[in-house]
Structure 1
């Protein structure tokens, strides 16, 4: 049974979930769970994926938004990881060119930090070879003079040179959603706002399914499956506790924050990755903004309501002043912010330095399979490892993983040139809508090869909206409800478009228009509309409020 990936088709998807026995049920709609669902369904398994909120509503929308090639692992001589993530980065780029794209990254050499010109040159050379970096993207080493010419903002007394290499930037929340959507289009049953609340067991106490609460309809149903995979990210222990008290290895949460500034406040010429007292800080220009991060601190507070603290802002701003002393910025210049939790794996009495950054698989006596840890870049290999584990455990013969060659939804481009030809064609075809080339560029780097569907919707709204911004965003809202399973204002403004993170003023200007579209499409009454407006205002306040 197949429907559109739409909230309007929710009841049909729910009915299918209730009436089907699955080979695998995946709990968690972040990048890990979505990747597992895609790998499983493309190997021929009958798969269900559920997410208690929206896709990528946890860690997977709160990363540094980089598909790292693994350079930092060289410091610890973890060559196998560099090789794996370098290769994975290339695969993700080929499968989702509209969401993963190369950027030049400058790594400045700083007096007193751990790299010098010799070690950086050696490290980048090894990195290029292990990660399989294309010849045209291999690193360059710059003298102090050329470094300061290329980036005049650098501290002239402490920067002694730099290395320049290629990293890949992404939209993490859309990468996650489109992985889930691709799994759906390949035959998986996928539903957001469905929360696992308990396990179903047989006479031998083995898990045979889960009890699920439909959070939009406020009722529950049973979901049956042979293998239950817990991929709930920072919440994996909450799921494990419903099975059995946790002993031994467990999740330790590390909080990281990012701050967004208007570009004119931090007008860097390229992306920068610099060391500050041994810690890595990224400074990434993105359109009219520059974002900065990240911090890392152990976190034991409310996982569902994560605030940025003033002390964290002060720390990052201090790092910026040490690197760029001529800046004129303060906490009042922050245009938005986000905070996320990274799940690390520890054991009783483990020290922060002993926490594992890598993924691991656990299985309980009742049969719950849990995967924890890992990074955005490695999601496809994590999915492979889970599937290989399931095959060994169940003595199942599965075909090899197919996902190396599966384009994600919207990623139907043979090359970068192909994508730019598509942009030019759309610009000419829809010139009458008075969309700029930058508008088309932005949409294609969000919706990819499906941007034409969005532009058709903009065209349909053209006669009823004299204000182009409102016309365009009304069309985006309509498109994302009908094709991307948007169910709330936060789904739209945060995880489908990132306006909440990078253009809060647009959220404030257009909220009434988007609320009206969603209310009409999803049958919201006046109470639900007010509830949604309040929720988005809370998120705006959270992005701009820094606790003492």
Structure 2
């Protein structure tokens, strides 16, 4: 079978290359921050390696609110540089991945006894438009109460006094991370999921110059050496730091957030909504046939490897929705799926919890381990640039700007939304014999972008075999993600490659046997391995659709 570069089938050769090469930069962590650094470093012509102990985007980077924020909420803290940077970055991410990043009109209602009134919202959105460089056709509009209620009849007319409508961008965070990683690989970086760092290698001067790692899939131990090692492990950065030195000074405080998902007809809002509830911002985001809601925030000190949604957290969000949309009668049984994640906030010895930093920061140990922590999905490219400039400074080199502003991601070879629609129309016509509706083709293009035809060719091959349509499609998609997106487990496929477990949980149960059979054949699993993979996937599904009684 032909082996493709970003393929699970290529793992043995990539492991061998990682052991044999001396890298300029080795990155620990395959979330959006690590993937972004890998892409930035690779585009500078450096030799780059990245390892991730689980799957790409298996932590915070698949459990966000799935928005490319323009930084509006930072205005409340007068954090103007962040508003300016995230606004411009949002446009860059959109241009480089138009199939994954979608402009949405966000309705921001003015609510009695909350922090905004008509004057402050108008001033805030006007300043936001200017600082963030918002395009003319996406600038805000302010509405009075009557027009606001006409725009969204489900709002609580007793508390809503008006609204501002502005543009945010919705994304698929796990696929964005994956495509950044895959683009880094196309630019020469070596990346592997399921490789866990177990120890550091130090030179005679006690400087870290490599790692010992374990391939979790084969059990093999390997050594990787590099001039610089960057710890970009997100919520796990302190776990990595402790293998180097005891934690001193700054440390991670984990904040948990949850989201819940409804069928769209249960929460049929006219557009996306951001509303304040006792100071907390709650997002209500339509996505296909669903509407998702979040997020909560609480300090998290439990098992970081197995984060659950609590019933009390779901009840809190339901109460928020009841206050905002009183005519919508929702209860816990209406929740079709959910997700929970943690993000690292930065604490410091001698400072209170109220002083936790939400910004990205870089710090270095006396052994030379460079750590980056904090930050947001939107700012991944600038975080990568700051890391590379930090390394340039250590090398006494002149700081250079990143070139990733103009690097389209692997599936993002589009220059306009019209080109995406043209591709959908072309594929719908060219593969009409496969029986896909135009909406199904559109959904696949939203996932795989300019690579969609590679997937559809796989479907056409499977169409010649004796499978029903549902089994044909899932088997072809499994094969595509194993051979082109380094999916190595069923959970990789159902969670981070397709988000079926989050937005189409019934599809997981309906197709699991066919998907397991296909992946077992591709990866040479025996029956015990296949059964264990199915069990783990069912556990992930169970976590999404049930809640702990706490």
Alignment of 1:85-96 (within 5 A): 85-96=86-97
Q: Is the contact between residue 3 and residue 13 of structure 1 (CA under 8 Å) also seen in structure 2?
A: no
The 2-side partners of 1:196 and 1:398 are apart by 30
What's the CA shift for 1:38? 0.3
Match of 2:289 in 1: 288
The 1-side partners of 2:517 and 2:456 are apart by 20
SS in 2 for 1:335: strand
The 2-side partners of 1:515 and 1:307 are apart by 25
Match of 2:367 in 1: 366
The 1-side partners of 2:55 and 2:397 are apart by 32
What's the CA shift for 1:327? 1.2
Cα separation, partners in 2 of 1:215 and 1:466, compared to 1, 3 Å: closer
Match of 1:320 in 2: 321
The 2-side partners of 1:294 and 1:187 are apart by 37
SS in 2 for 1:547: coil
Compare 336-345 and 461-470 and name the one that shifted more: 461-470
Q: Is the contact between residue 345 and residue 373 of structure 1 (CA under 8 Å) also seen in structure 2?
A: yes
What's the CA shift for 1:432? 1.3
**Are residue 195 (structure 1) and residue 196 (structure 2) matched?**
yes
Cα separation, partners in 2 of 1:322 and 1:464, compared to 1, 3 Å: same
Match of 2:124 in 1: 123
Q: Is the contact between residue 360 and residue 374 of structure 2 (CA under 8 Å) also seen in structure 1?
A: yes
The 2-side partners of 1:161 and 1:123 are apart by 15
**Are residue 547 (structure 1) and residue 541 (structure 2) matched?**
no
The 2-side partners of 1:44 and 1:37 are apart by 11
Match of 2:69 in 1: 68
The 1-side partners of 2:169 and 2:311 are apart by 30
The 2-side partners of 1:469 and 1:153 are apart by 37
**Are residue 40 (structure 1) and residue 41 (structure 2) matched?**
yes
> What TM-score results when the alignment is normalised by the length of structure 2?
0.98
Alignment of 1:142-161 (within 5 A): 142-161=143-162
SS in 2 for 1:371: strand
What's the CA shift for 1:349? 4.9
Aligned residue-pair number: 547
> What TM-score results when the alignment is normalised by the length of structure 1?
0.99
Q: Deviations over 1:67-125 (max 9, x none)?
A: 00000011111111100000000000000001111011000010111111111111111
Match of 1:302 in 2: 303
Q: Is the contact between residue 43 and residue 398 of structure 1 (CA under 8 Å) also seen in structure 2?
A: no
Q: Is the contact between residue 309 and residue 547 of structure 2 (CA under 8 Å) also seen in structure 1?
A: yes
Q: Deviations over 1:389-417 (max 9, x none)?
A: 00001223565311000001100001111
The 2-side partners of 1:378 and 1:146 are apart by 35
SS in 1 for 2:224: strand
SS in 2 for 1:97: coil
Alignment of 1:444-459 (within 5 A): 444-459=445-460
Q: Is the contact between residue 195 and residue 212 of structure 1 (CA under 8 Å) also seen in structure 2?
A: yes
Q: Is the contact between residue 213 and residue 219 of structure 1 (CA under 8 Å) also seen in structure 2?
A: yes
Match of 2:397 in 1: 396
Q: Gapped runs of 5+ residues in structure 1?
A: none
Match of 2:250 in 1: 249
What's the CA shift for 1:457? 0.8
What's the CA shift for 1:202? 1.1
Match of 2:463 in 1: 462
Q: Deviations over 1:239-293 (max 9, x none)?
A: 0000000011100000000001111111111000000001000000111111000
The 2-side partners of 1:269 and 1:227 are apart by 50
What's the CA shift for 1:342? 0.7
SS in 1 for 2:254: strand
Match of 1:207 in 2: 208
**Are residue 30 (structure 1) and residue 18 (structure 2) matched?**
no
Alignment of 1:381-460 (within 5 A): 381-397=382-398, 399-460=400-461
Match of 1:83 in 2: 84
SS in 2 for 1:245: coil
The 1-side partners of 2:350 and 2:106 are apart by 38
What's the CA shift for 1:466? 4.9
The 1-side partners of 2:120 and 2:398 are apart by 46
SS in 2 for 1:308: coil
Match of 1:271 in 2: 272
Alignment of 1:212-223 (within 5 A): 212-223=213-224
The 2-side partners of 1:522 and 1:376 are apart by 32
Compare 143-152 and 502-511 and name the one that shifted more: 143-152
Q: Is the contact between residue 29 and residue 233 of structure 2 (CA under 8 Å) also seen in structure 1?
A: yes
Q: Is the contact between residue 471 and residue 514 of structure 2 (CA under 8 Å) also seen in structure 1?
A: yes
